[in-house]
Amino acid sequence: MERVTMADVAEAAGVSVATVSYVLSGKRPVRPDTRAAVEAAIRELGFTPNTTARSLRTGRSSLVGLVVPDLANPFYAQFAAALQERLRDLGLHVVVCNTRADRSEELAFVREAAQQQFAGVVITPFRLTAKDLELLERAGVPVVVSADIRLGQVDRVAPEARSAMRAALQAVTDAGRRRIAMIAGPRDATGGDPRLELLRELARQFGTELPHGLVVRGEHTRAAGAEGFGELMSRRHPPDAVFCANDVIAVGAMDRAEELDVRIPGDVALVGYDDAVFASLVRPRLTTIRYPAQAAGEAAARLLRERIDGRTVPRTVRVKAEFVARESV
Amino acid sequence: MERVTMADVAEAAGVSVATVSYVLSGKRPVRPDTRAAVEAAIRELGFTPNTTARSLRTGRSSLVGLVVPDLANPFYAQFAAALQERLRDLGLHVVVCNTRADRSEELAFVREAAQQQFAGVVITPFRLTAKDLELLERAGVPVVVSADIRLGQVDRVAPEARSAMRAALQAVTDAGRRRIAMIAGPRDATGGDPRLELLRELARQFGTELPHGLVVRGEHTRAAGAEGFGELMSRRHPPDAVFCANDVIAVGAMDRAEELDVRIPGDVALVGYDDAVFASLVRPRLTTIRYPAQAAGEAAARLLRERIDGRTVPRTVRVKAEFVARESV
């Protein structure tokens, strides 16, 4: 079979070759009916652009990798949707890579993105180091880090959570709670746990503190939340307020509280982080610190676009978190 | 800077070039400590395999695209994890593409996967036709469809939900409910709504039926679930049992029930589909039909592996669904 060309598609659709090219690349807007005609012709003729040629020419795939530690955390679904929305007009497509917080999987995706010459990578690293990310830099793939932590000289989207965390502490102490605990992330996570550091610092300002025995650590999973909560409740002096590194952990804490017949917030106040979609579904509804996924995804897209447009100096964009009072404090 | 070669990496790691190649391709198992040494050398030297060359040689990327209509539905996170787990030893990496049930985004990802010569595509089509999938076939990219519907001559993973749906109807009718309704998927979805067809058929066996006015349609979203439930409750003779095309829709129905002060299950019994992770989080806990994401993801991996190994005749694998009785019936 002879290879179908762009010219064949253009002829079948009754448009110019340039228009076919715009539909394929997404580089310029094309009227919906024109686009439909071109797409119909592409399907009908079975046209497949010659990508090896294209890739040799432009040296770039149209894929942007969003590398996340936990696809089951709905925060990332919203983040991904916002990122895709803001990159669509460049003809870029977001694919989500789930590392399950496993360093070797993080490395595998970073390497793959470098090899395949992705158009960009947005990553929430969990166990990667700044050094690992240099692999992308050397391959000329723009990187945006979405995390609380610093990680080398790269673009970054990070929460500004100080005032939200302060409001959470205010609510907890207003409710008469004094023995504050945290179920934090794992000790070996990249950059430690900035949410724990922030809570520790602010707690002091409230004239209280996080006793050493009231900080437990685990993965960002529901199972780890259950385990952490159980551990805290087994202390000789258990806490009367528990902060969690994210909402998934908080839901695990609620599971265990129910098993142990610990009332929330009657016996223990509970504060999450993220405001994931299920935070308002659980009972009691989860009081949490809302890190807006949509705004964070949009900021990541903005940083990536600026890189693609040629900016070379790294930038950090802060996205404001806010305290959401529901029923668990 | 001179280009770092595989030989340089092999020398630095004190292994053979073949071993470096196995670490990169994942084609043969490599001892963890050897792998670690090679990875360290790769990082240290900043080695990037020359993929354009590799791609010209093997004609294949190591990416498998999982194309789904709604990344926010946790069903797909579990499915993706199982798929990844079962493809890892082939050196394949799963990337998730979220189409938001939008036909043009579905087409864009299918086209991208064909162009980039993905190692495979697993897709839950929402508005694509069999014709659209031929694009992948022509590009030589193996396809597995994960859906209730038939879609051309391709490999398929589909639920076997008959006995589970019968058990759900039994529970609903045992609870004295007779006016059965469904919040189904959109009318223009590929292959219609097989869950609706199945319910309709089985309802007749129970000596009841789904009156025309008690089938409402919408997207597979929480907002559509709320709207659908509101619509049903505004009927002159509202239903006393509502089946939903998935759990996300059911949660939307619960939102609206709360606003309307309709008690579940007191006034209306509610049945979901999927057993998404939040089904046991909502109150009342959602009674649902569990379609096991893990088993479905594993079946998809199996089909893909067989294709890669050379099987050419399409196969369908059925994954058994089960009725999960909780509190909403």
Encode pLDDT of A201-239 as tens digits: 999 999 888 998 999 999 999 999 999 999 999 999 999
Higher pLDDT, residue B49 or B164? B164
* % of chain A exceeding 90 in pLDDT: 67
Mean pLDDT over the full length of chain A: 90
**Choice among A105-119, B53-67, B196-210 with the minimum mean pLDDT:** B53-67
Are residues A303 and A187 located together in one domain of the fold? no
Number of Cβ atoms within 10 Å of the Cβ of A170: 13
In this complex, which of B62, B72, B111 lies closest to A112 when CB atoms are compared? B62
**Choice among A171-175, B43-47, B222-226 with the minimum mean pLDDT:** B43-47
Q: Please state the rounded mean pLDDT for residues A272-290.
A: 92
In a domain, A117, yes or no: yes
In this complex, which of A43, A49, A80 lies closest to B71 when CB atoms are compared? A80
Q: pLDDT value at position A35?
A: 83
A167 confidence band (pLDDT: 50, 70, 90)? very high
pLDDT > 90? residue B46 = no
Are residues A119 and A225 located together in one domain of the fold? no
In a domain, A325, yes or no: no
**Highest-pLDDT range among A1-15, A204-218, B257-271:** B257-271
Residues of A in contact with B114 (CB under 8 A): 48
Higher pLDDT, residue B169 or A57? B169
B72 confidence band (pLDDT: 50, 70, 90)? confident
Mean pLDDT over the full length of chain B: 90
Q: pLDDT value at position A58?
A: 53
A21 half-sphere exposure, CB direction, 13 A CA radius: 5
In a domain, B20, yes or no: yes
pLDDT > 80? residue B124 = yes
Q: Please state the rounded mean pLDDT for residues B236-253.
A: 96
Are residues B75 and B148 located together in one domain of the fold? yes
Q: pLDDT value at position B278?
A: 87
Closest to A155 in 3D by CA, of A114, A202, A123, A131? A123
pLDDT > 80? residue B3 = no
ipTM computed for the complex = 0.76
Q: How many domains does chain A have?
A: 3
pLDDT > 70? residue A49 = no
Please tell me whether the peptide bond between B265 and the residue prior to it is cis, using omega within 30 degrees of 0: yes
Are residues A153 and A33 located together in one domain of the fold? no
Please tell me whether the peptide bond between A284 and the residue prior to it is cis, using omega within 30 degrees of 0: yes
A54 confidence band (pLDDT: 50, 70, 90)? very low
Are residues A65 and A103 located together in one domain of the fold? yes
Alpha-carbon distances, residue B285 vs A73, B276, B279, B321 (angstroms): 20, 12, 6, 19
Q: Please state the rounded mean pLDDT for residues B100-114.
A: 93
Q: pLDDT value at position B200?
A: 95
Q: pLDDT value at position B52?
A: 39
Q: Which residue matches tokens 């690349």?
A: A25
In a domain, B278, yes or no: yes
Are residues A68 and A214 located together in one domain of the fold? no
Q: pLDDT value at position A5?
A: 72
Q: Residue A299's beta-bridge partner residues?
A: none
Q: Please state the rounded mean pLDDT for residues A250-277.
A: 96
pLDDT > 60? residue A55 = no
In a domain, B326, yes or no: no
Question: How far away is chain B from the Cα of A281, in angstroms, using its nearest Cα?
Answer: 5
In a domain, B281, yes or no: yes
Are residues B110 and B212 located together in one domain of the fold? no
Are residues A224 and A134 located together in one domain of the fold? no
In a domain, B323, yes or no: no
Q: Please state the rounded mean pLDDT for residues B262-279.
A: 95
Are residues A285 and A304 located together in one domain of the fold? no
Question: How far away is chain A from the Cα of B209, in angstroms, using its nearest Cα?
Answer: 32
Do the Cβ atoms of B160 and B289 come closer than 8 Å? no
Do the Cβ atoms of A93 and B112 come closer than 8 Å? yes
Are residues B150 and B181 located together in one domain of the fold? no
Q: pLDDT value at position A150?
A: 82
Cβ-Cβ pairs closer than 8 A, A with B, add up to 127
Torsion of CA A182, A187, A189, A193, to 10 degrees: 30
Q: Please state the rounded mean pLDDT for residues B122-140.
A: 93
Question: How far away is chain B from the Cα of A279, in angstroms, using its nearest Cα?
Answer: 10
Q: pLDDT value at position A1?
A: 38
**Choice among B1-15, B241-255, B271-285 with the minimum mean pLDDT:** B1-15
Are residues A228 and A305 located together in one domain of the fold? no
In a domain, A1, yes or no: no
In this complex, which of A35, A52, A95 lies closest to B65 when CB atoms are compared? A95
Residue A249 sits in a domain whose CATH number is 3.40.50.2300
pLDDT > 90? residue A60 = no
Higher pLDDT, residue B16 or A284? A284
CB contact under 8 A, A112 and B65: no
Q: pLDDT value at position B272?
A: 97
Range of the domain at A22: 6-49
Higher pLDDT, residue B44 or A49? B44
Residues of B in contact with A46 (CB under 8 A): 134-135, 138
pLDDT > 90? residue A314 = yes
Q: pLDDT value at position B47?
A: 72
Do the Cβ atoms of A202 and A162 come closer than 8 Å? yes
**Choice among A147-151, A284-288, B19-23, B117-121 with the minimum mean pLDDT:** B19-23
Are residues B227 and B250 located together in one domain of the fold? yes
Residue A25 sits in a domain whose CATH number is 1.10.260.40
Do the Cβ atoms of B144 and B304 come closer than 8 Å? yes
Q: Please state the rounded mean pLDDT for residues A64-85.
A: 92
CA gap B112, B16 in Å, rounded: 36
List pLDDT tens digits, range A149-161.
Answer: 888 889 999 999 9
* % of chain B exceeding 70 in pLDDT: 94
